[in-house]
Each structure stands twice: as structure tokens, then as C-alpha cells.
Structure 1
Amino acid sequence: MSQQIDGPRLAPASGVAKSLVVFLHGYGADGNDLIAIGREWARSLPDAAFVAPHAPERCMASPAGRQWFPLTFRDPDERRRGVIAARPGLDAFLDAELARHGLGGDRLALVGFSQGTMMALHVGLRRATPPAAILGYSGMLVAPEVLQSEATGKPPILLVHGERDDVIPVDALFAATDALGAAEIPAEWHLSPGVGHGIDPEGLRQGGAFLASALKPRRTSLRAASQG
């Protein structure tokens, strides 16, 4: 992932960014696929800036779309190699976006869909400064066997999955929560009844509420202020 990446942005509704929400799209889509969610969440996240970068590679299966890494669906190790190769470029983008807004890494939230969830979990759990939250829709945890030795923090995580997902079966949700729990990284989860490989209104509502809680501005206690 050597190419620079960029994508659509939404300014914070309040006019001042106190947090950054980054959407990571799925295989064969691009940043335009998710950025509109920022408009839906703007009321509950008025101080959040939103950005949805286009993945750096053209998708061979959908030339109009993009991919974070190639998938043949024949090689069981391609996802592990893919997230490892894509991580440095995405990390650099996240650092640049945080600097753009004058924010620390702890004011970052990653929101992924499908392949974007693979990236959000892999990169977010290995950031030098753990993000404020990771929200993953219809995805999976790649290389769970190395998570415990590689994770740098324990950010709040919410995983949402469609009950009838025939692209990434719902078993991936439970495999991810089991692996996160084994690494002592607790994760919340929500199963969307009757939903396939997509996001329903309830999943969006729960995701927005989760981020609003995780990104709530910190207040200095009176005791700490009086001692300062």
C-alpha cells in the first residue's frame, strides 16, 4: 500500500473537530459508499470530523471499485498477508488526518465494513496510541492467533453482523468475539435479524450510540483541577 490515499470528508457540525471518525469501505466499493453515514451521525457526534478514504488499489473483481488488498478466496492466508501489507499506508493516512485536526490518537474512531472491518481491527489494535473505539460491520478478525502478542491496547469494540450474511457468515462474528475475549479485549456485539451483507437502520443506530459514548469529551475532575 505504497500509494497515498484520500477520500471524501465531512466537517464537524459544531465547526470544531474534537474527534475523528474514519470509515473503511468494503471490497469493491470506495469511500463514497460510507461517507453518508457521517451525515446521519452528525447530530449525536457534533464534534466529529468524518473521512472515508478510498483504498489504494483498483479491485480486479469490480474495476470501478477499490480494495485494501486483493482477494482470490482460494488462498486461506491471503487475508493475513493483505492486512499486513496494507497497514503501513493506512497508519500513515490516520496519522496525517489526526495532525490535520490537531488531535491525538486517542480521539480516533475506526468504522469498517466487510474488508474494511478486517483493516479496522488489524490496524486499530496495533496503533501506538490505541483508538477511542473500533466499530466493525459484517467483517472478521484476521490472524486471531497472533492478536494477544501483537495488540497494543484494549479499545472499546462493537461488532455488528447480519444474521443472513452469505458473504462473510455470521460465524465470523462469534469467532472474532471469542478471539478478542481470549486476548482480554472485550467486545460488544449485535446480530441484525434477517439482514444479509449490509447495515440496517438498527445497526446504524447502535453504532452511532456506541461512538457517541466512546468519543464523549473528557472532563478534568475538580480534584485534579485544584491540584494542578
Structure 2
Amino acid sequence: MTRLDGPRLAPPEDRPARQLVVLLHGFGADGEDLIGLAPYWRRLLPDAYFVAPDGPEPCAMAGFGRQWFPLTDFSETERLAGARIAAPLLDRFLDDELTRLGLADRDLALVGFSQGCMMALHVGLRRRAPAAAVIGYSGALAGAGEVLAAELTSRPPVLLVHGDQDPIVPVAALHRSVAGLDAAGVTVQRHIEHGLAHGIGPEGLALGGEFLCRMLLDQ
């Protein structure tokens, strides 16, 4: 089975890690695309270990970068099936990293952008124990309603951030995701960043840092 890996940023001065923040990139990107968030958030979480694993497959559609699963028709069925296939790889990666660092799920935060947001939500809601936080940028919930109700095993707190000018994943996806999470009893906060297209803006970056601090440090 494929093993995931990617760029990392450890706590400075050989300090032991007290938290693990896993950054999940979008379709056609790779871990280098999101590890750039780590220096910003490390100022807030100096004892956190950051890692941004590359998706398991080359991105055939884009011709460069990686993907967590293929996207051809962008349907709900395709997204859910793809997330289910990729989930065991990510789950194993999380287990291995937590074991290596001597940490538990309560010390874990999952942060995903676009397709990585789908993976963060899918896996985060199905872990044996709840993570401290799940943050999703410009993404969607793959599978809600009866599917989520049947498969849900944990309810980590969730923050979703989306630009109101997103042409790739329209902001309506945020509203559908929030409704699905609310129906499943998951505590979710949401923020719409005005004027933002498909990306992570300054408001979302600041809100994400505050959310990580509150969920990882105030335990």
C-alpha cells in the first residue's frame, strides 16, 4: 500500500512536539502548496509539528501535481467514492505520525484546502477518537445525510471558510456542508470571505490560527 509523505516543519530548537497539524492540499497541487502556512501558524503554536503530505496519485487531469482521488464529473457520487478510497491511506499516515510523536487524536488538527478539505472532513468525522480540530478552506462535505449518519464515529469541532467569489467550488458548497454537519450533531463555525476566489485569504488564515490555538491549547 502507498505510504504518504511530504514537507515538514518541526518545532524549533529540538523541542518535543505537543501538537500535530496536518495540512492537506487541493487537486493538482502537492504538500509544498500548503506547508507555507506552517511558519505563520508556528508563531501561535511554537510546539506544533506541521506536515503536508502529498496526495497518493499524480493528477492526470492537470498534468502536474498530485490528487487525493480522480475528479472527472465532479459529482457527489464521485467525491464520496474517491474520499472512501483515499481515506485508509490518510488514516494510516495520521496513526503513524501520532505514534512517532507520542501524541493522541486530541493533539491532532486536520487542515484541508479544496479536495484536501473533503479529505479532512471525511477522515476527521470517521476517526476512532475525535481530533482537536478540523479546518476546511474552499471545499465541501463528501457525503451527508444518511451516509454520514451511518458512518460518523467522532465529532471534532469544525471551522469552514469560503470565498464568496469562488468559481471552482461555489460558496453554496459551504452552506450545504454546514447543513450536513449540523444535522449530524457536529459543532461547526463558518466564515465567508468577501471578494475571495478559490484560495485562502488573510481573514481565513487569521481565523484558522485562532481556531487552532483555541482547540489545541485550551484543553
User: CA offset at residue 153 of structure 1?
Assistant: 1.6
Please say if residues 177 and 186 of structure 1, whose CA atoms lie closer than 8 Å, have aligned partners that are also in contact: no
Equivalents in 1 of 2:167, 2:213: separation in Å?
Answer: 30
The answer for the alignment partner of 1:175 in structure 2 is 176
The answer for the alignment partner of 2:23 in structure 1 is 23
The answer for the alignment partner of 1:222 in structure 2 is none
3-state secondary structure, aligned to 1:77: helix
User: 1:46-85, CA deviations, whole angstroms, 9 ceiling, x for partnerless residues?
Assistant: 1110000000100012232000000002654111110000
> Quick one: which amino acid aligns to residue 44 of structure 1?
L
Equivalents in 2 of 1:121, 1:163: separation in Å?
Answer: 20
Gaps of 5+ in 2: none
The answer for the alignment partner of 1:6 in structure 2 is 5
Backbone CA RMSD of aligned residues: 1.2
User: 1:199-220, CA deviations, whole angstroms, 9 ceiling, x for partnerless residues?
Assistant: 11111000011001100154xx
> Quick one: which amino acid aligns to residue 207 of structure 1?
G
Equivalents in 2 of 1:76, 1:125: separation in Å?
Answer: 17
> Quick one: which amino acid aligns to residue 28 of structure 2?
G
Residues 7-156 of structure 1 mapped to structure 2, 5 A cutoff: 7-13=6-12, 15-73=15-73, 75-145=75-145, 146-156=147-157
> Quick one: which amino acid aligns to residue 61 of structure 2?
A
Residues 196-211 of structure 1 mapped to structure 2, 5 A cutoff: 196-211=197-212
Give the total of aligned pairs: 217
Please say if residues 13 and 48 of structure 1, whose CA atoms lie closer than 8 Å, have aligned partners that are also in contact: no
**TM norm structure 1:** 0.92
% identity of equivalent residues = 54
Structure 1 residues 75 and 159, CA gap change in structure 2 (3 angstroms):
closer
Please say if residues 76 and 142 of structure 2, whose CA atoms lie closer than 8 Å, have aligned partners that are also in contact: no
Equivalents in 2 of 1:96, 1:84: separation in Å?
Answer: 19
Please say if residues 131 and 156 of structure 2, whose CA atoms lie closer than 8 Å, have aligned partners that are also in contact: yes
